[in-house]
Amino acid sequence: MIRRITSAIALVLALSAGVHASEAKVTSFSLDNGMDVVVIEDHRAPVVQQMVWYRTGSADETPGVSGVAHFLEHLMFKATENLESGELSSTVAANGGRDNAFTSYDYTAYFQRVAADRLELMMQMEADRMVNLRLTENDITTERQVILEERSQRTDSDPGALFNEQMRAVQYLNHRYGQPIIGWRHEMEQLDMEHVLSFYEMYYAPNNAILVVSGDVDPENVRTLAETYYGAIPANPDLPERLRPDEPPQLSARRVTFKDARVAQPYVMRSYLAPERDSGAQEKAAALYLLAQLLGGGSTSYLTNALQFDQQLAVYTTSYYRGASLDDTTFTFLVVPAQDVSLEEAEAALDATLAAFLEEGVDEAQLDRIKLQLRADEIYARDNVDGIANRYGRALTMGLTVQDVQDWPQILQSVTADEIIAVAREVLVPEASVTGWLTRDAQEVTQ
């Protein structure tokens, strides 16, 4: 116990003095075919994680075929020229590892975590399915049913998920971020072999991919293996430029009321269109991140103190900013009213509290505490090699660089209180907002 207390004190003293633990050793390079490679060394355990990130997600889908990016992610575990259906995952498991994949608006990623001496085998299999996927009509039929059932379980059966889906559709007037990642059910039901193969052949290519290898590895050995397996795959010369529909000026506040008898706890949500993190210009995003922490980042935040403790109008409040995005993102508030407090009263209290915050300005002591916690979090995060790999992979898919990722912690520390208030006044404007009420029935709605 004494050792733990001493270590904690030493850490706080080091952070207060501005002493930072060194970043994990990161090496980056590109193969001749355009594939980017990031190697993150961590030799504390003989384990390696391989991740392949494709710069494509649901926001890159053609209108009318929503869900195809996620559908293809499922189908990538089927047969290739060299592997039987399911063989990749069974091979990973047989070698004591684990694997999975995930799809978002801006990327699709696949990973395996295994013993370090199995990296070559993982590269061989991952490179194989990058170009040699062999699907059957039965694969399409059965896996389409799987994703429809996934939508039923995760979205259609959850009023909160349906509400969030409607909020997002209203927030984006033109951009593909307004569609659900899993897809609209009526479009998912029509996905076929042609849709899948068209997406696969267009976007699954080395010049649209990022290889991130983290763990007990040597960068030169990774380079050799990557050149052997991924370097042999030709680039796609027809890879389109990554252009999305621009979001037009948002000129009017919008409202959503979602009524569902299954709702256990009504709440108010407010989202604003907000700028994302941009390469070489992350300062505004850093200010928005800190604004979210100040307003709704925990038990000492401004909203919590005002609405939960002082006025006792809410049982839960939060705010969050999704800066990891290729295009314009959102800044969001959520207020769960206390018993006998209406949604109208909760919304009015949110508006009044935000106005008071802008009038009073940032509590410098609170900002310093948040920055200190962020420095501590950054140090502890370096023990999570999986998390570091995710951080770099996600950043590169949204147009950031390795240097941007490494600069981010210091940029957060350099943000001033005045910059936070300035970005709050710029972003938290009614015209770019959507206010939503999630309620049980019409009796909850008074507006």
Q: Could you tell me the pLDDT band of residue 15, with boundaries at 50, 70 and 90?
A: very low
Structure confidence at residue 442 (pLDDT): 57
Q: What's the rounded mean pLDDT across residues 94-112?
A: 98
Cβ neighbours of residue 350 closer than 8 Å, sequence gap 6 or more: 268, 270, 303, 307, 333, 335
Which domain-ending residue is among 229, 263, 296? 229
Is residue 245 situated within a structural domain?
Answer: no
Q: Is the separation of the CB atoms in 293 and 425 below 8 Å?
A: no
Structure confidence at residue 1 (pLDDT): 43
73 catalytic? Reply is yes
Asked if 299 and 184 sit in the same domain, the reply is no
Is residue 238 situated within a structural domain?
Answer: no
Q: Is the separation of the CB atoms in 439 and 266 below 8 Å?
A: yes
- Taking the C-alpha atoms of residue 177 and residue 429, their distance in angstroms, rounded to an integer, is 20
Domain count for the chain: 2
- Taking the C-alpha atoms of residue 410 and residue 401, their distance in angstroms, rounded to an integer, is 15
Instruction: Please give the structure tokens belonging to residue 19.
Output: 């002493």
Is residue 396 situated within a structural domain?
Answer: yes
Q: Could you tell me the pLDDT band of residue 10, with boundaries at 50, 70 and 90?
A: very low
Is residue 239 situated within a structural domain?
Answer: no
Distance of CA 383 to the CA centre of its chain: 20
Asked if 189 and 297 sit in the same domain, the reply is no
pLDDT at 14 over 70: no
Structure confidence at residue 3 (pLDDT): 46
Asked if 213 and 260 sit in the same domain, the reply is no
Q: Is the separation of the CB atoms in 358 and 421 below 8 Å?
A: yes
Indicate which CATH number applies to the domain containing 71. Answer: 3.30.830.10
Structure confidence at residue 383 (pLDDT): 79
Q: Give the model confidence (pLDDT) of 172-188 as tens digits.
A: 999 999 999 999 999 99
Structure confidence at residue 23 (pLDDT): 58
Catalytic choice (73, 187, 276, 347):
73
Q: Tokens 């508030």: give the residue.
A: 333
Q: Give the model confidence (pLDDT) of 136-164 as tens digits.
A: 999 999 999 999 999 999 999 999 999 99
Percent of the chain with pLDDT over 90: 90
Q: Quick one: which H or E segment has residue 411?
A: helix 402-414
Q: Give the model confidence (pLDDT) of 303-360 as tens digits.
A: 999 999 999 999 999 999 999 999 999 999 999 999 999 999 999 999 999 999 999 9
Q: What's the rounded mean pLDDT across residues 190-208?
A: 98
Is residue 434 situated within a structural domain?
Answer: yes
pLDDT at 430 over 90: yes
More confident residue, 427 or 384: 427
Structure confidence at residue 328 (pLDDT): 97
Structure confidence at residue 380 (pLDDT): 86
Per the structure, the complete domain to which residue 298 belongs is given by: 254-444
Is residue 235 situated within a structural domain?
Answer: no
